[in-house]
Structures are given as C-alpha cells and as structure tokens.
Amino acid sequence: HIYANIYTTWLLYGAVCCFAGWLLIRQKIYFRLSLLFMLIFTAFHTGAGLQVAYQKKIIVYNIPSHQAIDFVYRRQYFFYGDSILMKEGSSKNFHLKPARIAMQLTSSVRHIPALQHRQELWQFFQKRILIIDRAVVFEPGKEKLKTDILLISKNPPVDIFMLARAVDPAIVVLDASNSLWKIAKWKKQCEALLLPCFSIPDEGAFVYNIE
C-alpha cells in the first residue's frame, strides 16, 4: 500500500546508495548527493499530494466479464459494479488495488456529496453519465438527453441507432463485461453515426478526468 512510481523508486535507490557510500568512503560528495536525491524525492511526493487533493475522475476498469466503476474524489472513491469485486480476492487484488494505490486512494465511501443518480442517469459534479446495464427504452422527445458519457455494460439488448434518437452522448464507452461480438457490432453502429467510441477490451481502462 505504498505509493511509488519509477522516478521515486530510483530516487530512493540513489539516496540509499549515496548515503551508504558516504558511510563507507567518508566523502562529502556522496552525502550531498544523498541529500539532493531526498530533496527531489520530497518534491515529487509533495507534487503528487497536491494532485490528489484536487483529483476528480471516473474510472471504468478493464476486468473481463465484470462491471467495475470508481467515482474518485480526492482520496475517496465510490465503487459501482459487481459485488464480487468488493470482496477480497484475486480479481480485486490484481485489477483494483494497484490502481487505487497509484491514485493514493485511502477510503471507500458509500456516498460522495457531488455524486447523484436516478435510475440509469448519474451526475458527478457537472458531468452526466448514462449507465445502461439492462434492457431500457428511451422515447424520443423534443430534445435529446445530453450526456458526457454513455456507458454500456453487461450485454444489454440495446441498439445504438435507437438510443441515438433519444440520447446525445459525447462519447460511448463499452466495458469488458460485454461480449466481444456485441462490442464489435456497437462500434460499427457508432462509426456509422460518427459517434466517438471507446472499447475497453481493445484500449484498456477508461479514465475520465473532471476539471
């Protein structure tokens, strides 16, 4: 559970090696280098801490056959997805924990003040997310429902052409809980409608930063 990246790791190695060199050889240059590495290491961590203090993002993970979404606010996260991923196990340890450690998330919460939802429509700060993971029917109205993200999950029996009559998404996201053949079909429909499309099995986890 220790946050580290390649830069901070090498800085620590450099600091330890130079400090050990100073103890063995007693040359001031090694001690000064050790202090320099620790100073840069501290700057990296301070910068990372400032980023965490302001981070707001939505992550849709790439876990085959599973739905997994984190709404992240500072060091907290609200999880929406398959209940099996909330329990300790190989899937959670392999897919979710490393990402949460990298983002320096420390607590899972049941409620984030800026997160609201009603049925399929979610709002996180000023962004709207439509999550379709079951059979739904949207009747076309005078104005289309505008959303920042349209997430399709768990193989719902939906047609992009029909959805586009009632919904106007900025991007369509297809997660890894869907069948590959359905994803291929939906991607073709998005291409025909000139809709931006993101396939998580093909492109990896979807990370949406909120400014």
pLDDT of 45 > 80? The answer is no
Token pair, residue 93, equals 């340890």
Q: What is the pLDDT of residue 71?
A: 96
Q: What is the pLDDT of residue 211?
A: 82
Percent of the chain with pLDDT over 90: 62
Mean pLDDT for the stretch of residues 141-154: 93
Listed residue (35, 72, 70) closest to 51, CA to CA: 72
Highest mean pLDDT among 1-5, 22-26, 129-133: 129-133
CA 150/CA 171 separation, integer angstroms = 6
CA 183/CA 170 separation, integer angstroms = 18
Token pair, residue 86, equals 């909330």
Q: What is the pLDDT of residue 189?
A: 97
**Residue 116 identity:** Q
Q: pTM value?
A: 0.81
Contact assessment for residue 107 and residue 76, using Cβ atoms and an 8 Å cutoff: yes
Percent of the chain with pLDDT over 70: 99
Q: Per mean pLDDT, which range of 15-19, 20-24, 41-45 is the poorest?
A: 41-45
Q: Per mean pLDDT, which range of 81-90, 154-163, 186-195 is the poorest?
A: 81-90
Listed residue (78, 58, 93) closest to 211, CA to CA: 58
Digit-coded pLDDT (tens) for 56-107? 999 999 999 999 999 999 999 999 999 888 887 777 888 898 889 888 888 8
Widest pairwise Cα distance in the chain: 79
Contacts of 128 (CB under 8 A, 6+ apart): 121, 122, 146, 147, 148, 149
Going by the DSSP 8-state scheme, the letter that residue 151 receives in this structure is E
pLDDT of 1 > 70? The answer is no
Angle at the Cα of 43 from the Cα atoms of 38 and 44, rounded to 5 degrees: 95
Query: Which backbone phi and psi does 59 adopt, to 5 degrees?
Result: -120, 125
If phi > 0 it is left, if psi is from -120 to 50 it is alpha, else beta; for residue 181 that is: alpha
